[in-house]
Every structure is written in structure tokens, then in C-alpha cells.
Amino acid sequence: MLFLFENYALDSGRRELRLSNGLVEVEPQVFDLLEYLVRNRDRVVTRDDLIESVWRGRIVSESTLNTRISSARYAVGDCGKEQRLIRTLARKGIRFVGTVEEKQVSQSATLLTLPDKPSIAVLPFQNMSADPEQEYLVDGIVEDIITALSRVKWFFVIARNSSFTYKGKHVDTRQVGRELGVRYVLEGSIRKSGNRVRIAAQLIEAATGNHVWAENFEGELDDVFELQDRITETVVATIEPSLELAEIGRARLKPTDRLDAYDLCLRARSLYYSSKDRENNDAELRLLDQAIALDPNYAFAKAFAAQLIHLRMIQWWATLEDVAKGSRLAHEALISSRDEPTTIALAAHALAYITHDFDRALAAMDRAVRLNPNSANILNCSGWLRLWVSDDDRAIDDFSRLIRLSPKDPRIGVTYNGLAHAFLFKNEPDMALEHARRSTHELPGWVSAWMILVAASINVGNEQEAQESARRMMTLSPNFSITKRWNPFRDKRPFDLISERLRKAGVPE
């Protein structure tokens, strides 16, 4: 179905929002919210309606809900106090009030070229347990299968953030194959009963929808890492039987001997994907502190915690104690990483940002990329590090490869932000502005997105947009100042360039 209003077209089949001839980047959850409002425009929609339809009844914080509504408003041009399309009715709810024309359209998706290597997307598995609270465990197990597959260098594996956009939806695997550009899809279910886990998995050829194999994997919860290894080995051996066992073995890596510490880390990861607000950040760090207390050698938990502290610094939430803690955890994670590439990349990225130890961070990042060139997480860390050391062309290359590995990533605004920085520093102002706008569309609550839009707007002489963006930035971070902000760059010139643009937009010194 195509919904037409003002100069916009909302395509429910392609899951696209278009403005005139251009595509408006909207994260999947915001798209779902906007589509629900448009479809139900004849009535006032309550908070409970949105939670039931968009979040499928899951617990959602008020700040998360408000952020998604703000993103929907911004996507359709309802900026500031203007509410010409999405109107708030005090103590009742919200309603889409625009004039809408509906059209039936044939559903087709933009085709992505298949990679020149075996390609696969692992969809979220169904939680078949009686307890819905086990959802974090199910998602965590699937994410670790994705990570293990991505370590096989001969494979092309769609990133977790894109494959999980299909969570909770009835999907046609042929459509998934077209939208993500892969040859195979892995789907399944997980049932936990007491201390036992039963995983049912099916490997499907995306183009035909034919099942290649279906198998059950069962064992004690204490053996969950072994179950993940068996699934990974079965997938690899089926798709590419010529690979040597040594190559398959590289996918094996037990992160910790403590299942309770692993459980805490999965809970932190689940919170991380649900929201990036201050409340969740605090909760994630508490969970990781508990995990590290249980296993002081849990390198991934330390690297993850250091990464969360880096995010606190970006959002101006961090204390001096946070900064010291982040530095310590990043160093410790690198020392005890055991060649686990994601741990190395997260730790190196945080180390560079927090301590400016760029030489050590670059050496570690290069190793992470060599160990796993197929990871969107690693490419994100690498792209930002290259940006901080003024290797702008390499940053653009890393970010572009990330977009292909995760074409439906809800966090793609971070990637657009990185590209905006790189094009700004390369003196390509139009490209910088385009990607900066995309970043704010995707992540309207992220200070860095508005900061780079201020700089990019000044760069093309659009002072009105720069000043409006500066006001949005200062609303998000009232204590923001030009000189007190953290400088992640090795060379002083990129920092000075952005500072100069912020001053011209009237940002406080």
C-alpha cells in the first residue's frame, strides 16, 4: 500500500518514506510507528496502542517512546512546535491529521547484488519458552551465532542490526534474500525449560524458499557455547563443504567460563539495542560491572563497558571517574582479548577516543580487521578510528562496506554521521550536508548528529539551518560548549574546523 500526503509517499511494501524524488532515511521502529499513525488516522492513538502495535507489548520507557515520536515528526517535517501532520492531544494521545491518499502498488524491493562469496542472513529465532523474559537469552544466542559465522573469512554475513529488523514479523525468506542481498537465510526457534535448551534451525535457499536442511540441537544450558558451535559448523559445512576444519574452528571462542557472567552480558546487550538513553546506559554498565566481578578476565565485558563509557562522553554524561574507568577497562580488555576480534575492535576504539593512544589502537584495530573483515561492528570501530587519525578515504571505505553488510541497520545514522565528518574534512560540502541530514533523521536524540549538521550547514552557507540545528543540539545538551568538548582527533585541524563552524552558528564558547 502507498500512502500519499503533502510531498511524501509512505510505501508499506518497500518500507520506504520518500519525499518528492528523494528517500527519507527512517529507522525501522520509527517507520512502524509512522505507518501505524497513518493507517489509524481516523482516531486518536494512545500510548498503549503504540506499545501494543509497534513494540508488541514489550516494556518501553517514556523517553524511548517520546524519542521515536519525535523522530517520526522530524521525518515528515514537523519541526519544533509545528504539528501540522502529527498532532498531540493533551492527556489523550496523538493523531495523524494530514490528508492522505491511498494507492495499491505492486510490492518489489530494490535488488542488491549478491556477493562473490557464500552469503547468509541469520534471522531472529522465535522464543518458544513459556517465559517471555527469556527473550534476551534467545536474541543473545542468535547474535553469537551471527558473530561466529562472520569470523569465517570466506563468508558474507549480514550484521545483527539488519537481520533483527525482521524480529516479530512474518516474513517471506525470498523477500529477505532480495532486501539483504544474500543467497541463504537461517531461521529457527529456541525453547528453554529448566536448565535445558532446545534449538531448532532451518537453512533456506533464499531465491527459491527451499529448505536445505533442518535440524534440532539440544543440551544443557551450561553447554550453550557448544550448541552455538555445532550450529555454526553445520551451516558452514553445508554451504561450503570444501572449507578446512581449521577455518571452521576459527569461529569457536568461548567468551567466559561463567554462565552467570555471560547471562549478565546478554542482558546488557539487550538493553543496548533497545535504547541509547542515559537510563539504559547506567543499567548496562551496572550489569557489566556485575559480570566482570564474577569473571575478572571477561575481556568482552570490559571492552563493551569501555565502549559504553565512550558513548557517555559523546553525550556529555561522563564524569572524570567514568573516563578513568573507561581507560582502565580498554587497556585490560586488549591485554586479555585472546585474539577475539570484536573485543579487540571495541577496546581499541574506546582506547583511542578516551586516551588518544592512537598508535596502539591502530595496531590493534588492524589486527581485528584481519581476523574478521566481515563484521559490521568492527568496520564501525575502524571507520571512526581512521577518521580520528585523518585517514578520511579509509574511513569512507569502512563505512560504505558497513552499509552493505547492514543495509537495514537501525543505527545507520551513526554511519551517516561518520561519512558526514569524512566528507567535511575532505572538503566535499554537499556530500557532508547530505549525510549529516540523514544522521539527524535517523538519530534525532544524538548530540553528535546535530553538531556535524551545524558544521556542514555553515560550510555551504546555510546559516538558518545551522542555527536551528544548534538550538536542537543545545536542547539535548544544555551544558555543551565549544572549548570544553572532548577532542578525539590526533591532528588539531579537524577539531578546529568544527569549532569554527560552531562559533559561526552561535554555539556558546
Q: Is 467 buried (19+), middle (13-18) or exposed (0-12) by CB count in 10 A?
A: middle
Q: Looking at the structure, do residues 248 and 270 belong to the same domain, yes or no?
A: no
Q: Which of 199, 226, 254 is the last residue of a domain?
A: 254
Q: Looking at the structure, do residues 245 and 265 belong to the same domain, yes or no?
A: no
| 237-247 burial code (b ≥16 CB/10 A, e <16) | eebeeebeeeb
Q: Looking at the structure, do residues 172 and 250 belong to the same domain, yes or no?
A: yes
Would you say residue 127 has pLDDT above 60? yes
467-477 per-position pLDDT tens digit: 999 999 998 88
In a domain, 269, yes or no: yes
For residue 109, the model assigns a pLDDT of 42
Q: Is 423 buried (19+), middle (13-18) or exposed (0-12) by CB count in 10 A?
A: buried
Q: Looking at the structure, do residues 177 and 52 belong to the same domain, yes or no?
A: no
Percent above pLDDT 90 for the chain: 44
Amino acid at 360: R
In a domain, 139, yes or no: yes
The bridge status of strand 93-96 relative to strand 8-11 is unpaired
Q: Which of 235, 254, 273 is the last residue of a domain?
A: 254
In a domain, 470, yes or no: yes
Would you say residue 327 has pLDDT above 90? yes
> CATH number of the domain that 331 lies in?
1.25.40.10
Q: How many Cβ atoms from other residues are within 10 Å of residue 483's Cβ?
A: 8
In a domain, 382, yes or no: yes
Q: 16 falls in which pLDDT band (50, 70, 90)?
A: confident
370-415 per-position pLDDT tens digit: 988 889 999 999 999 999 999 999 999 999 999 889 988 888 889 9
The bridge status of strand 184-193 relative to strand 196-205 is antiparallel
Closest CA to 476 of 458, 499, 453, 504: 453
Verdict on whether the full-model pTM lies above 0.85: no
Closest CA to 280 of 255, 302, 311, 257: 311
> CATH number of the domain that 79 lies in?
1.10.10.10
Secondary structure class of 122 (helix, strand, coil): strand
Average pLDDT, the chain: 87
The dihedral sign for the CA sequence 423, 429, 431, 432:
positive
In a domain, 398, yes or no: no
Would you say residue 281 has pLDDT above 70? yes
- Dig out the grid coordinates for 417 from the structure: 554521521
Secondary structure class of 468 (helix, strand, coil): helix
Q: What is the number of domains present in the chain?
A: 4
Beta-bridge partner residues of 89: 93
Secondary structure class of 256 (helix, strand, coil): coil
Distance of CA 169 to the CA centre of its chain: 19
* CA–CA separation, 198 and 129 (whole Å): 10
* CA–CA separation, 63 and 50 (whole Å): 14
Q: Looking at the structure, do residues 125 and 249 belong to the same domain, yes or no?
A: yes
Secondary structure class of 411 (helix, strand, coil): coil
Average the pLDDT over 437-449 and give the result: 87
Cα first-last separation, the chain = 49
Q: Looking at the structure, do residues 249 and 265 belong to the same domain, yes or no?
A: no
Q: Looking at the structure, do residues 203 and 287 belong to the same domain, yes or no?
A: no
* CA–CA separation, 168 and 363 (whole Å): 40
Structure letter (DSSP) for residue 45 = B
CA dist list (Å): 157 to 114, 163, 188, 338, 383: 12, 10, 17, 23, 19
H runs (alpha helix) in 95-223: 135-150, 160-163, 173-180
* Enclosing domain of residue 480: 411-509
Q: Which of the residue ranges 91-100, 140-149, 342-351 has the most confident prediction, judged by mean pLDDT?
A: 342-351
Which residues, including other chains, have CB under 8 Å from residue 434's CB and lie 6 or more apart? Answer: none
Q: Looking at the structure, do residues 229 and 294 belong to the same domain, yes or no?
A: no
Q: Which of 254, 275, 294 is the last residue of a domain?
A: 254
299 with 338: CB under 8 angstroms? yes
* CA–CA separation, 133 and 53 (whole Å): 19
In a domain, 202, yes or no: yes
In a domain, 114, yes or no: no
336-362 per-position pLDDT tens digit: 888 899 999 999 999 999 999 999 999
213-270 per-position pLDDT tens digit: 899 989 888 888 888 888 888 888 888 776 555 555 555 667 888 989 999 999 999 8
Q: Looking at the structure, do residues 423 and 507 belong to the same domain, yes or no?
A: yes
75 with 28: CB under 8 angstroms? no
Q: Looking at the structure, do residues 437 and 495 belong to the same domain, yes or no?
A: yes
> CATH number of the domain that 227 lies in?
3.40.50.10610
In a domain, 492, yes or no: yes
- Biggest CA-to-CA distance, the chain: 64
Q: What is the dihedral of CA 14, 44, 41, 81, to 10 degrees?
A: -80
- Dig out the grid coordinates for 426 from the structure: 575532505
Residue with cell 554511519: 415
For the chain, give percent helix, strand, coil, nearest 5: 55, 15, 30
The dihedral sign for the CA sequence 18, 19, 21, 26:
negative
For residue 81, the model assigns a pLDDT of 65
Q: Looking at the structure, do residues 232 and 180 belong to the same domain, yes or no?
A: yes
For residue 304, the model assigns a pLDDT of 96
Q: What is the dihedral of CA 388, 392, 396, 399, to 10 degrees?
A: -10
Closest CA to 476 of 314, 283, 309, 305: 314
Q: Looking at the structure, do residues 355 and 433 belong to the same domain, yes or no?
A: no
